[in-house]
Amino acid sequence: MKHFVLGILILGASLSTASAQKNPIIAHRGAWKNTELPQNSIASLNAAISEGVFGSEFDIHLTKDDILVVNHDNDFYGIDIATATYQELLAKKHPNGESIPTAEDFLKEGLKQKKTKLIYELKTNRLGLERTLLAAQKSVELVKKLKGEKMIEYIAFDYDACKKIVELNPKAKVHYLTGNKSPQELKADKMAGADYHFSVYKKNPTWIAELQKLKLKVNAWTVNEEAEMKNLLDQKVDYITTDNPELLAELLKVKK
């Protein structure tokens, strides 16, 4: 009887840890690599959603005329976003025929469903902090207008932008990307967690446990190799951001 009870307890404990990371997949710039869709397109967002991932990540820039648009690089097929108007950006298209999505259109599409979170990376504006903070303010206003607060989590490399988002919406989940703040600093500044390059956790081997102890989320980017995915899953991180969500989904199936 004693062994039976102990067995149940152990089973219960292992099930609860397994469920903590049942779906840790964040598709980096949508699902584009294996689907051959353009990164950060609405098509790649929908592909990620149809894969059932926890989150789909995308990158946001501010145009010269203060429109938030979705793209990774500072330029959209050669047109510099920070110094171009939105109209000027429409001169180019993604190979699948899409124009550069506005953040508003992109979020409206993502908010048609409730399963996959929208992981909103606010890019640092190359024209300076003032523009980055304006982009942060406009982002919080847009998410509020679309009633997307529960579905959207923010990430950013600029710590002032992270703090600005928390200041404007204390309930916003904001994860810092650069990797140079300790778990204690993130907690003090009311961040939801760390989203650091996986090498940062190797250089600071106590941080994952410290983040977990402080009840902060642990995310790692951009993890495309199976061995590193397994290493992070073993450390029970909350999320893994990857260009290869399909591979991570396969590994999780095997683990079950």
Residues binding Mg ion (CB under 5 A): 59, 121
Nearest distance, CB of residue 121 and Mg ion, angstroms: 4
Nearest distance, CB of residue 1 and Mg ion, angstroms: 54
Q: Phi and psi for 124 in degrees, rounded to 5?
A: -75, 125
Nearest residue (CB) to Mg ion, 68 versus 212? 68
Task: Check if the beta carbon of residue 172 is closer than 8 Å to that of residue 140.
Answer: yes
CA distance linking residue 233 with residue 96, whole number of Å? 35
CA distance linking residue 89 with residue 77, whole number of Å? 9
Nearest distance, CB of residue 192 and Mg ion, angstroms: 17
Beta pairing, strands 55-62 & 193-197: unpaired
Task: Check if the beta carbon of residue 154 is closer than 8 Å to that of residue 175.
Answer: yes
Task: Check if the beta carbon of residue 152 is closer than 8 Å to that of residue 175.
Answer: no
Nearest distance, CB of residue 72 and Mg ion, angstroms: 6
Nearest residue (CB) to Mg ion, 155 versus 186? 155
Burial tier of 137 (Cβ tally within 10 Å: 0-12, 13-18, 19+): middle
Nearest residue (CB) to Mg ion, 201 versus 221? 221
Report DSSP state, residue 124: P
Nearest residue (CB) to Mg ion, 102 versus 124? 124
Nearest residue (CB) to Mg ion, 45 versus 212? 45
Nearest distance, CB of residue 129 and Mg ion, angstroms: 19
Nearest distance, CB of residue 64 and Mg ion, angstroms: 21
Which residue of this chain has its Cβ atom nearest to Mg ion in the complex? 121
Nearest residue (CB) to Mg ion, 159 versus 230? 159
Residue with tokens 């990158």: 59
Q: Which of 209, 182, 206 minimizes the C-alpha distance to 194?
A: 182
Task: Classify 236 in phi/psi space as left (phi over 0), alpha (psi -120 to 50) or beta.
Answer: left
